[in-house]
Every structure is written in C-alpha cells, then in structure tokens.
Copies of this chain bind each other. A is one copy, B any other.
Amino acid sequence: MSRWTPDARERLERAAFELFEEQGFAATTVPQIAERAGLTTRTFFRHFADKREVIYADDQFPRMVRRIFAEADAEAEPLEVVVDGIRRFADQELEGRRAKVLRRTAIIRSDPGLLERSLRKRADLAGAIRTGLLERGVPSTTASLLAQTSASLVELALADWVDQEGDRPFGDIVAEHLEALRAALGLERRPSE
C-alpha cells in the first residue's frame, strides 16, 4: 500500500496507552510515544492536537449524539429523546467496551491535566446535545439546561458503571439517576403508560 505502514494513528494510540500505564501520564514524553510507535514527534502532533488528546482517540460521544438525533422519534419529548437514545446506544456499543473504558478512566483519574481535558469532553457532549435539541425546536434555555443535565447524568453514570462491582447496564444507571434527580427537584414520577 503506502510507503509507510498505514496505521500510524492506531500505533501512536497504543504506544501512548502502554506508556501512560507503565510510567504515568506526566512522566511520559511525546518523543517516547513516537519512538515506540516507530514515528517522529512531529508526526504525533499531526495526528493529535496535543499530548492529552491521544487518550480520546476513540471517543464515541460525538457519534452517539448524531445517532440519537438521527433516530429520534419526531413526537417524543426532548428529555426522553436523549435518555432513550443514550440507553439504546449504550446497550449496543458501550457494554462490550468496559475493559477499554476502565483503562482510559484509570489513566484520566491519575492526572489533573487529563481530568481537565475530560471536562472539555463533557462540555463538548453537552454542546452537541444542545445543538440537537435546538434543531428540534427546543427553546434555548431549556435546551442548554437539558443538555447540561444529560451530560451530568452520563458523567455520573459512567463513573458508577466503571466503579461498580456487578454489571448493571449503563442505561439502567442513567435511568435511575434521572429518577433520583427528579425526586431531588421535587417532581413526581410520571404515571406509567
């Protein structure tokens, strides 16, 4: 095929994960990652904007949000669109990836800089949901609040899903947290339909 083996990006990602786990994020230099991947430092930065981004190389949230709004029932309530969409996506795509998510989470939790970056990913998720809601005609303030709420639910549910002893489905955890939030806000549960 090419002059170069064509999986440069994947090799960089693999090398980075390995080194971060072996030595820690801060102690790993970009030249080290590049060397293990058989590439140069400059090439690393052609594939990833900075050293932190390599951790999110296979971030699934943008794809999730696109699918959620692409498959959404036109009649459904805004929040149901998002929560049901999250559940469907998680059942199909997240449950089989627990090991990889665990690896990434452990690395992120070990470094303040990566924690900060994960907050940007959370904000990006909220922003994408907000955009989707706006396109459905949801008013701006409501869209922002529901998007932030959805991101909070995902964030907290993901942490619980990663830390749990058992194997409760991610979607169930999200749904339970939503009910807990409704209760804390003083709202009644919707009558079953």
Report the separation of the CA atoms of residues A180 and B147 in the bound assembly, to the nearest whole angstrom.
Answer: 13
A184: contacting residue among B79, B123, B190, CB under 8 A: B79
A28 interface contact, C-beta 8 A: no
Residue in B closest to A145 when the chains form the complex, CB atoms: B181
In the assembly, what is the distance between CA of A187 and CA of B148, in Å? Answer: 17
Check: A137 CB closer than 8 A to any chain B CB: no
Q: How far is the CA of A24 from the CA of B128 in the complex (A)?
A: 28
Binary flags per residue of A12-47, CB closer than 8 Å to B gives 1, else 0: 000000000000000000000000000000000000
Listed stretches A60-68, A96-104, A113-121; interface member: A113-121
Interface residue tally for chain A (C-beta within 8 Å):
36
| A interface, over-half SS | helix
Interface mask (A163-193 → B, CB under 8 Å = 1, otherwise 0): 0000000000000010011111111111100
Name A residues whose Cβ lies closer than 8 Å to a Cβ of B. 77-80, 115-117, 119-120, 122-123, 141-142, 144-146, 148-149, 152-153, 155-156, 160, 177, 180-191
A-B contacts, 20 of them at CB < 8 A, read A77-B186, A79-B185, A79-B187, A119-B122, A141-B160, A141-B177, A141-B180, A142-B180, A145-B153, A145-B177, A145-B184, A146-B181, A148-B156, A149-B181, A182-B186, A185-B185, A185-B187, A187-B190, A188-B190, A188-B191
